[in-house]
A and B are shown apart, each in its own frame.
Chain A
Amino acid sequence: MKKTLTINLGGTVYHIDEDAYRLLDNYLTNLRVHFRREEGAEEIVHDMELRISELFTDRLNVSRQVVTIEDVEEIIGRMGKPEDLSGDETGEAFEERRQTGTTMRRLFRDPDDKILGGVASGLAAYMGWDVTWIRIILLVLGCFVHGVILAYIIAWIIVPLAHTAPEKLAMKGAAVNVENIGKTVTDGFEKVNDYMRSDRPRNMLQRIGDGIVSVAGFLIKFLLVLLAVCLAPVLFILLFVLFVLLMVATGLIAALPAVFYEVIPLSCWQTVGVAPTPTIALAVAGILVIGIPVIGMIHLLMRHFGGWQPMSFMTKIIFTLLWFIALGTGLFFILSDPNIASMISYSL
């Protein structure tokens, strides 16, 4: 049994197996990438889609209603992989471009070679260093320098995972060009991983190192999961308490002037935060400063145990920025309040 999808190809509806769909989608994406410099690239790909649609129609009949991966493979063989369609370039120019075609490396997390989050392997690919050394350095640093573990976790959250073949190639830097992507992907999406894995043979020492690190990684993961499972009820209670505290804090901040007025009616009321702007700003900043980490924690929990989608990169950036802005604003208003300032200078 296989799951099928419904696609619209050149205006005709087809039922297609999920794996066949992924292969076809990869193929069409690669064609777009291949023809991107050509004038009328969309038109070329559209015409090819029409042709593929026609070939599908030829193959299907009453007793055979679903497009399978064999169909797609055969059609790709018939239409030609992107590297076979070099246009009117001569072989030499083609070779030349293949060799000189480099792109900026980008930092990704490597999903094919990871122990925890794939940060180290992504970093290794980005720097062009060996991943084993990066891991050793990270481990040693992590034991002695505070903040390395935190930095790792932040990197884990912020650095995106290399999902697609172009991203994986961009991660490796040197090997990025259309022909590579085409080769990587149209040969079948499973082989993407093989290709990325098999490019560097590993020696004995590296393999022992990898073994130790993966055992350590497994243990750490196991402990984390165990901790999370044990602490899940506690965490939920903590979250609930945090939420209640948040509400109370909001209420207090809003009611602060009144409370102050009740408690110390003699102080100089022009200067305390009776003015609405600082009060509201402080309340909003307080909610954000406490609320964003709470949202983050809830999201993290739900992602691991509730199967939520990970946040997009932009969302993370926006939340982080927002948190810092809120913190800054809060501190600014607190410090610029003359009463608090005088209190601080008094206590000093």
Chain B
Amino acid sequence: MNVDNVRSQMRKGMLEYCILLLLHKEPSYASDIIQRLKEARLIVVEGTLYPLLTRLKNDDLLSYEWVESTQGPPRKYYSLTPQGETFLCGLEAAWMELTNTVNHLKNN
């Protein structure tokens, strides 16, 4: 049990929520998402994202379409499906609850 271990597990738990949040704002492709997550220091290695995206897509929370790119190969633009939006609402509620709990415990 050390801090790094717990922190990385917390991040892992949040990762899906954050991806859905990003895609809720605008459809984007993997490299954009990576860029944003890296800025937020949520992921260290890029490879973590791909299995997650595929899993979310297989669970029908995400869908994608191919968009031709001026440089390099065509890109997969991911966006939220209606199920994804509902799922995100659920996660939103869970997150609120979590932060409330933590704040509550901290303040009392």
Q: A residues within 8 Å of B by Cβ? A: 10-12, 31, 35, 38-40, 43-44, 47-48, 50-51, 53-54, 57, 77-81, 84-85, 87-88, 90-91
Contact = CB atoms under 8 A, between A and B. Distances in A.
B44 A35 contact: no
A85 B48 contact: yes
Contact of B72 (A12, A43, A79, A88): A12
Given A51-B31, A54-B72, A90-B9, A84 B47 contact: yes
Contact of B58 (A39, A78, A88): A39
B54 A44 contact: yes
Given A54-B31, A88-B12, A44 B50 contact: yes
Contacts of A87: 51-52
B36 interface: no
Contacts of A84: 44-45, 47-48
Contacts of A85: 45, 47-48, 51
27 contacts: A10-B72, A11-B74, A31-B47, A35-B51, A38-B51, A39-B58, A40-B54, A40-B55, A40-B58, A43-B54, A47-B50, A50-B73, A51-B31, A51-B46, A53-B73, A57-B72, A78-B45, A78-B46, A79-B45, A79-B47, A81-B45, A84-B44, A84-B48, A85-B47, A85-B51, A87-B52, A88-B12
A47 B53 contact: yes
B87 to A, nearest CB: 16
B71 interface: yes
Given A10-B72, A51-B46, 10 more contacts: A40-B58, A44-B51, A44-B54, A50-B76, A57-B71, A79-B45, A84-B45, A84-B48, A85-B47, A91-B8
A87 B50 CA distance: 10
B5 interface: yes
B54 to A, nearest CB: 5
Contacts of A35: 51
Nearest to B8: A91
A129 to B, nearest CB: 39
A129 B58 CA distance: 47
A226 to B, nearest CB: 54
Contacts of B34: 51
B30 interface: yes
A87 B45 CA distance: 12
A277 to B, nearest CB: 61
Interface string B31-72: 100100000000011111011111101100000000000011
Contact of A80 (B12, B46, B57): B46
Contacts of A53: 72-73
A90 B13 CA distance: 10
